[in-house]
Structure 1
């Protein structure tokens, strides 16, 4: 089990920052594993900058996701991990959307267009919790 983060970054127009992942070609929120000696909010800021080129400030919590049936198999090294992800909200401070080794595309996407994008069901659920949650964190 490795603690990880995802980040819902919304701009002033309400668009959400999404990446198109290089490993599976799905669209996703920026995020990744927490490093040793790092806090979860610091991991959220670092991962967002690394994957998108956008510097952010964490502003809140969408939820905590620990579904024991959601096991992620990493084909690069064969490692299997049970989901343990904290999803934060953040506001952009600066930067330009820029792809990385983990993101082939980076775009601001309107909530209306998100349904059109290829995305893992767990990622879609996190975004839907953000869009419909009313500020109450999801715990589960």
Structure 2
């Protein structure tokens, strides 16, 4: 008898500073710039997982404010829950899991981050409180328009996301 397909769940945080820049990390394993986050442990809540992952990757403590999106990698079966979070304590710094930590603008996110990770940030920056639900293949969004710029910017619509 074959095993049924399994999913894993990851969590990530969109943390902004007073200039509305987003906290991002450069991963040590592949050099990619992404949100701090990772696989949710079996015995932890999504909010606890967000706090743990952000601390492990940036050295700061955060508190989740709201769910902003659900993203499924159709190729790998990974479901990512992305939360807006606020900084509670600490100064961002590189860790064993991050080669670099930085504050990026939405424009920099669009220019320098892969589409499937940039959209998570743009969705979190929208003023609409409804969480986005998106599918991707690990590289490109499926059944969605291409990212053209920060959400809620002049001339952008939700279709731009």
Q: TM-score range by the shorter chain?
A: 0.7 to 0.9
106-115 or 28-37, which deviates more: 106-115
Moved over 4 A (4+): none
Q: TM-score, normalised by structure 2?
A: 0.73
Q: 2:28 aligns with which of 22, 36, 58?
A: 22
Cα distance in 1 for partners of 2:24, 2:30 equals 14
Structure 2 residue 105 is matched with structure 1 residue 110: yes
RMSD: 1.5
Larger radius of gyration: 2
Cα distance in 2 for partners of 1:112, 1:121 equals 13
1:111 Cα deviation (Å)?
Answer: 1.9
SS at match of 2:8: coil
Q: TM-score, normalised by structure 1?
A: 0.84
User: CA-to-partner distance for each residue in 1:43-100, whole Å, 9 max, x for gaps?
Assistant: 001100110011101001111112424x2xxxxxxxxxx1211001100011111111
Pair 123,133 (structure 1): closer, same or farther in 2 beyond 3 Å? farther
Cα distance in 2 for partners of 1:121, 1:97 equals 24
Aligned residues: 128
